[in-house]
Structure 1
């Protein structure tokens, strides 16, 4: 009986703990440079609710275009100069001063009116704005137009320290950046099967990536896209409720055994 109990205790102990290899990111040998392929080389196509930062300047301050350019300078209550900063969704100055894409895929600009940008890249939008501006400008060569996304917004849920919608003010954000910005995955989060749910013009897609493998760098979804949903699913240890470390598991098993033993003794004395 004692041997059977010890065997059962050993099985539960070993199967309930979260192995250290499941907690370490990017394991394995570094990838050789010649083996690295281009990741996410397809430009992002704009979607509804994206926010664009459009900057229009005149390179000649004495140019007759200066009055026209001043129309497009949008005032806001704050300054978003921190290129690598991050914050919760909806609290940045870019949200107030940027151009939001409406449900019809349009942005509305002074003088130019509504411009459809749905499904276009930022480069294509810049060219569209330049073409529209040329109808009103005298010195076309004096104008500089810059179009970029006002940060990359994503939503992270599941076994993460700080879930919810986030924005990182960078042009390129990896899934590692997104997780680090959200406080890291909990001990019972599955790092080997991180789900990325992506909405595009063609429909909804779901991908998985193993963040414990160094080859994650080669994944097509290592760099996230705006409006991605990152889902950190739990390990089976969480459902068992036996603990994530050896000490927690041992304590849980001993507690259960003590309860059962006490119940049996009490039943015999009745």
Structure 2
């Protein structure tokens, strides 16, 4: 009988250990020695520099707008297309050599430039080849939304676009259905694209200091991967209440087995 009792105790301890700690489910914990969370200062990120496969939205305005119709997309096409699809067809995609092709102006290398830099390049080229200062040229260059992909233990896997110039990791996760309790918030992987290849970065979303990480703001074409916690692989509940049900089921099975063995 003592052996049976020992087995039950071991099962209960194992299930309690398999619960996900409350601190592993919380964001923005102050893990430093400082107690004043207001000391955390989020620095402005460096301007994003254009990479291969980025899609740019370019608009050119002058005093006589009829003179720049050839530069600006006319917006025709499938009216049922999504905003992302229209951006793909109307935008200027950066090719494998880092170039975009603009009507009348030809190819222009934009790899590694900021959108502000590109505005200046286009304006200078227009003044040099097409217009005079009196045309009052106004050029805007924007990324056609910030697209990223989520995988793993997160609400919704897949690729999505947020139409903002800056998106932090929490905004990206919120737009993807959040990370469930069974997701590892302490070690979220960001796989980032570069002209020479890919790099993998690891960030801890449970630590408020993540806001000062150079990877706090995501970049176009980032892949965000959330690993599952071991508790999910074990198949146990995530809370004590859920594990009580599992314990009750196992106890019932153990008790039934003991009674049957005693009858033999």
Residues 1:209 and 2:213 are matched in the alignment: no
Match of 1:84 in 2: none
Quickly say closer, same or farther: Cα 1:258–1:126, change in 2 above 3 A: same
Contact 1:193 1:210 in 2 (8 A): yes
Q: Deviations over 1:54-104 (max 9, x none)?
A: 11101x34xxxx3331211212259xxxxxxxxxx9745322321112233
Match of 1:44 in 2: 48
Secondary structure of 1:96 counterpart: helix
Secondary structure of 1:231 counterpart: strand
Match of 1:69 in 2: 68
Match for residue 114 of structure 2 among 104, 113, 121: 121
Q: Deviations over 1:21-75 (max 9, x none)?
A: 2112112355445x6363432x2221222110111101x34xxxx3331211212
Secondary structure of 1:13 counterpart: helix
**Distance across 2 between alignment mates of 1:141 and 1:75:** 21
Match of 1:16 in 2: 18
Residues 1:108 and 2:101 are matched in the alignment: yes
Match of 1:248 in 2: 242
Moved more, 193-202 or 172-181: 193-202
Match for residue 130 of structure 1 among 123, 145, 168: 123
Q: Deviations over 1:136-174 (max 9, x none)?
A: 113365100111111111111111111111110001100
Moved more, 148-157 or 107-116: 107-116
Match of 1:164 in 2: 158
Moved more, 236-245 or 121-130: 121-130
Match for residue 231 of structure 1 among 225, 233, 237: 225
Number of residue pairs the alignment of both structures matches: 253
TM-score by length of 1: 0.83
TM-score by length of 2: 0.85
**Distance across 2 between alignment mates of 1:243 and 1:90:** 41
